[in-house]
Structure 1
Amino acid sequence: MSHKVLHICLSSGWGGLEMYPSRIIPELARQGWQAHGLALAGSRVAESFREAGIEPLTLASKGRALLAAGRVLAYLGAQGVDVIHCHKSSDLRLGALLVTLRPSLRLFFTDHMGVTRPKKDLYHRWAYGKVTRLFAISEATRQRNLAAFPLPAERIRRLYLGIDPAPYVPRLDDPARAALRRALGVPEGAVAIGLPGRLTPGKGQEVWIEALARLAEASPGLAWHGVLIGGLTAEEGSDEAHVAALRRRIGELGLEARIAFTGFRRDLPRLFEALEIVCVPSRNEAFGLKVIEAMAAGKAVVGSDSGAIPELLDVETGRLAPPEDAAAWAAALAELADDAELRQRLGQAARHRVEKDFTLAAHVASLTREYENPKGAEGE
Structure 2
Amino acid sequence: MTQHIMQICLSRGWGGLEMYPARIMPELQRQGAVNHALALSGSRVAESVRRAGADVFTVKSPLGALLAVRRLLAYIDSHAIEVLHCHKSSDLRIGALLAQLRPRLRLYFTEHMGVTRPKKGLYHRFAYAQVTRVFAISQATYRRNLKALPLPPERILCLGLGIDTAPFQAPPLTRSDLGLPPEGCLIALPGRLTPGKGHEVWLDALAQLAPQPSWHGVIIGGLKAEEGSDEAYVAQLHKRVAELGLEGRVSFTGFRSDLPQLLRALDIVCIPSRNEAFGLTVIEAMAAGAAVIGADSGAIPEVIHEDTGRLADPDSCAAWATALAALIEDAAERRRLGANARQWVEANLSLETHVAHLLDAYRLA
Residue identity matched to 1:181: R
Task: Give per-residue Cα distances to partners, 1:35-90, cap 9 Å, x unaligned.
Answer: 10011111111111111112300112212322222211111110011111111111
Structure 1 position 301, deviation (Å)? 0.2
Gaps of 5+ in 1: 375-380
Partner of 1:327: 318
Partner of 1:164: 164
Partner of 1:75: 75
How many residues align? The count is 365
Q: 2:265 aligns with which of 265, 269, 274?
A: 274
Q: 2:346 aligns with which of 355, 361, 367?
A: 355
Partner of 1:89: 89
Structure 1 position 126, deviation (Å)? 1.0
Structure 1 position 185, deviation (Å)? 4.2
Cα distance between partner residues in 2 of 1:362 and 1:82: 22
Partner of 2:207: 213
Partner of 2:18: 18
Partner of 1:253: 244
Instruction: Tell me the TM-score normalized by structure 2.
Output: 0.98
Cα distance between partner residues in 2 of 1:13 and 1:310: 27
Task: Give per-residue Cα distances to partners, 1:220-249, cap 9 Å, x unaligned.
Answer: 322000011111111221111111111111
Asked if 1 retains the 8 angstrom alpha-carbon contact of 2:140 and 2:277, the reply is: yes
* Counterpart check, 1:138 vs 2:138: yes
Q: Look up the SS of the partner of 1:56 in the other structure.
A: strand
Asked if 2 retains the 8 angstrom alpha-carbon contact of 1:185 and 1:260, the reply is: no
Structure 1 position 189, deviation (Å)? 2.8
Cα distance between partner residues in 2 of 1:83 and 1:263: 37
* Counterpart check, 1:103 vs 2:114: no
Cα distance between partner residues in 2 of 1:2 and 1:352: 32
Gaps of 5+ in 2: none
Cα distance between partner residues in 2 of 1:185 and 1:201: 27
Partner of 1:367: 358
Asked if 2 retains the 8 angstrom alpha-carbon contact of 1:192 and 1:227, the reply is: yes
Q: How does 1:170-249 map to 2 (within 5 A)?
A: 170-172=170-172, 177=173, 180-215=174-209, 219-249=210-240
Asked if 1 retains the 8 angstrom alpha-carbon contact of 2:35 and 2:53, the reply is: no
Cα distance between partner residues in 1 of 2:100 and 2:181: 61
Q: Look up the SS of the partner of 2:68 in the other structure.
A: helix
Residue identity matched to 1:230: G
* Counterpart check, 1:336 vs 2:327: yes
Structure 1 position 287, deviation (Å)? 0.5
Residue identity matched to 1:295: M
Structure 1 position 183, deviation (Å)? 4.1
Asked if 2 retains the 8 angstrom alpha-carbon contact of 1:2 and 1:81, the reply is: no
Shifted more, 231-240 versus 309-318: the winner is 231-240
Partner of 1:264: 255
